[in-house]
Amino acid sequence: MTRPHYCFCLFMMLAFVALSGCQRENTEEIESISAPAITILHHETDSGEGKKLEQMLEKQKIGVVYAESVEEIAENSIVFSFFDDELDREKTTTTLDGHETARVLFTVTPDSDYYPLLEQIAIEIEERYPGIPRGLILSEEQGLSDEVIYIAVGGPENTAAEKESTIAILSDYFVHYFAE
């Protein structure tokens, strides 16, 4: 993943923060959603994964906000940054129950506190949905934040439906591990 990709992820998450729940007119809806527990950092190659995750998590009454930069991230927030991997479809796609599905790759910095938890999540996903996780990478690439979990869901050749099925799988794990 290149530095511009990470900057875009950061940018995407911050935009979500600025454009999220603050504009809701229904105060009952606002009260039913807990304080933002998850921030999605905007990334230029996020082709809708962040929005799909937001929709799925809000059904579980988990607040999600977007941020444009690391500076805009809310305190005590779990931060995800989605991006398309640059690999060919052959490496970013697997077949699950007869349907092609996007594979997922987690990336964190060596100083991230999330590594052990993501390692456990990747193992559990692999046990339940073989072939979905592509792994967990420790990256020292400049420009990455220790506070962000970078997630590649598929690549540019994967369809929206393939990515959405993977986001649905991830949302179940994120609800379980990050929202409690």
The CATH number of whichever domain residue 155 belongs to comes to 3.40.630
Strands 148-153 and 104-108: what pairing? antiparallel
- The tokens describing 73, both together, are 């991230």
Mean pLDDT for each consecutive 10-residue tract of the chain (180 residues)? 44 40 40 54 64 77 73 74 87 95 95 92 94 94 88 91 91 76
- Comparing CA positions, the residue from 21, 11, 15, 24 lying closest to residue 63 is 21
pLDDT of residue 65: 75
- What is residue 47's predicted lDDT score, i.e. its pLDDT? 59
CA–CA distances in Å: residue 163 to residues 47, 52, 61, 85 = 9, 9, 22, 12
pLDDT of residue 134: 95
Residue 129 has what pLDDT? 95
Q: Domain count for the chain, please give it.
A: 1
Tell me what pLDDT residue 32 has: 39
Q: Count the residues in the chain.
A: 180
- CA 139 – CA 107 distance, rounded (Å): 7
| 8 vs 58: CA distance, rounded Å | 24
Instruction: Give the type of residue at 175.
Output: V
List the domain range (segments joined by +) for residue 107.
Answer: 3-178
Taking the C-alpha atoms of residue 65 and residue 16, their distance in angstroms, rounded to an integer, is 5
Say what the pLDDT of residue 54 is: 76
Q: What is the pLDDT of residues 157-168, one digit of tens each?
A: 999 899 999 988
Cα–Cα distance measured from residue 58 to residue 124, given in angstroms and rounded to the nearest whole number: 23
| Alpha carbon 4 to chain centroid, angstroms | 17
Q: What is the pTM of this model?
A: 0.71
Gyration radius from the chain CA atoms: 15
